[in-house]
Structure 1
Amino acid sequence: MSRIGKKAITLPANVETRIDETNRVFVKGPKGEMSVQLASEIEAVMENQEIKLKSSGSTRQSRAIHGLNRSLLANMIIGVTQGYERKLQINGIGYKADLKNKKLAVTAGLSHIVEVDQPDGITFQLNNPQLITISGIDKELVGRIAAKIRSIRPAEPYNGKGIQYIDEKIKRKAGKSGK
């Protein structure tokens, strides 16, 4: 049995859950609604404001899937109650972002402006032209969109120019040491 998988998930008071016969769990909270399809060897059981996942298999693969499904369910519950957000910092002269019609236009020293579409369930917010906040209820989607924006121009180690996460540390390198 997975150590993570056997922990019960406590449900907050403002969250409604329901489990259907196809092993799909629906979670509804103040920020939205999400669902996840559990693996076939995993069974979800509701008991007094707690969800417990039980695994029928004992192989290494089934233990891993047990922990994975428990983590996905816990992330959904946090997402519909609190939400997730990632912040990106843009460093460099002339590097900036602009929000146009649900599209984020990033100018990052390339020959063209890169546009990133805003998918459903995700919101972009510009605190200033160099600070982007990506928020939503789906942890995986928020992280994927943040990584996509960061990949436009990752921060480089010599001058620190580029796009980086707020909490990311760039390992700086010394430049050329003249004659």
Structure 2
Amino acid sequence: MARIGDNPIPFGDEVTVSVDDHNVVTIEGPKGTLTEQIDPEMTLDIADDHVVVRRPTNQKRHRSLHGLSRSLIVNMVEGVTEGYKKELKIIGVGYRAQMSDETLEIALGYSHPIYFLPPSDVAVSVDSDRGQDDIIIVEGIDKELVGQVAAKIRSLRPPEPYKGKGVRYVDEHVPLKAGKTAAR
């Protein structure tokens, strides 16, 4: 059985980790600062170059929170040092994306363009080469927020199963179904 929570969380010299009395973890790094409320039953031991999360008992709830707390802190450390990036591909005739100021303007086959204003903590850009599908790049230091923004953009026109048109992640595979004529 894996014990993810038992593993220490290493961090480099450029990262500072602090915990207050209410188990609010603050991690500062070269890309920014993240804070997260960790369950008060978990204890955090901070050493020179690593953090260890400890649980009070072996109850199921504590075991679950143990691994979760460690994973949240690891994601925060990775976010402030390297950052997170999701890429979405727009596939379809007439489907386009472009940035106008801070707003993402997307044409997805509806009667109107869709204007998407990303949160201030997330950077959205469009890579469009002539003759190629547009790629929307979502970047930020908060893994959860980057994933939410990417999922929200994808939900505007999810890939359909017959032609594969729509918005999908770059590494996503959409299995295509056979149409009505294939059944004959």
User: TM-score band (shorter)?
Assistant: over 0.9
Answer with 73-82 or 49-58: which moved more.
49-58
Instruction: Using the TM superposition, give the Cα deviation of residue 106 of structure 1 relative to its aligned residue in structure 2, in angstroms.
Output: 1.2
Q: Does 1:176 align with 2:171?
A: no
Equivalent residue, structure 2, for 1:164: 168
Instruction: Using the TM superposition, give the Cα deviation of residue 101 of structure 1 relative to its aligned residue in structure 2, in angstroms.
Output: 2.3
Alignment partner of 1:142: what SS?
helix
Q: Distance in 2 between matches of 1:105 and 1:153?
A: 14
Question: TM-score normalized by structure 2?
Answer: 0.92
In the TM superposition, what whole-angstrom CA distance separates every residue of 1:27-47 from its partner, at most 9, and x where no partner exists? 000000001111011011112
Alignment partner of 1:89: what SS?
strand
Q: Distance in 2 between matches of 1:113 and 1:127?
A: 18
Equivalent residue, structure 2, for 1:6: 6
How many residues are matched? 179
Q: Distance in 2 between matches of 1:105 and 1:9?
A: 40
In the TM superposition, what whole-angstrom CA distance separates every residue of 1:16-65 from its partner, at most 9, and x where no partner exists? 11111221111000000001111011011112311001111321111111
Answer with 162-171 or 92-101: which moved more.
92-101
Equivalent residue, structure 2, for 1:83: 83
Q: Distance in 2 between matches of 1:96 and 1:61?
A: 46
Q: Distance in 2 between matches of 1:110 and 1:155?
A: 14
Q: Distance in 1 between matches of 2:47 and 2:25?
A: 14
Equivalent residue, structure 1, for 2:39: 39
Instruction: Using the TM superposition, give the Cα deviation of residue 2 of structure 1 relative to its aligned residue in structure 2, in angstroms.
Output: 7.4
**AA matched with 1:49:** D
**AA matched with 1:163:** V
The answer as to whether partners of 1:53 and 1:70 remain within 8 angstroms in 2 is yes
Q: Distance in 2 between matches of 1:68 and 1:155?
A: 31
The alignment yields a C-alpha RMSD, in angstroms, of 1.6
The answer as to whether partners of 1:94 and 1:107 remain within 8 angstroms in 2 is yes
Q: Distance in 2 between matches of 1:47 and 1:16?
A: 11
* Structure 1 consecutive aligned stretches of length 4 or more whose deviation exceeds 3 Å: none
Question: TM-score normalized by structure 1?
Answer: 0.95
Q: Does 1:65 align with 2:65?
A: yes
- Give the unaligned 5+ runs of structure 2: none
- Give the unaligned 5+ runs of structure 1: none
Map 1:28-177 to 2 at 5 A. Answer: 28-128=28-128, 130-177=134-181
In the TM superposition, what whole-angstrom CA distance separates every residue of 1:102-136 from its partner, at most 9, and x where no partner exists? 11111101122112111021001111171100000
**AA matched with 1:29:** G
**AA matched with 1:91:** I
